[in-house]
Amino acid sequence: MKHINTIETRDLCESAKKGGCGECQTSCQSACKTSCGIANQACEKKESK
């Protein structure tokens, strides 16, 4: 019996090796202006995904 369904996600440990191009949007700039959070930001470095 399969007990666990793993959803496909970006591997953060892998992204530590090649992430950080810095082209992504400034978190607060886009819509809220009062509460930082980064989970809803898009990655601009397409080839790293």
Chain residues that interact with another protein, rule: CB under 8 A: 1-13, 15-16, 18-20, 22-45, 48-49
Sorted by sequence, the CB contacts under 8 Å of residue 10 that are 6+ apart come out as 43, 49
Q: Supply the minimum distance, in Å, between the C-beta of residue 36 and another protein.
A: 4
**Residue 22: exposure state from Cβ atoms within 10 A (0-12, 13-18, ≥19):** exposed
What is the closest distance, in whole angstroms, from the C-beta atom of residue 7 to another protein in the complex?
4
At closest approach, how far in Å is the CB of 44 from another protein? 7
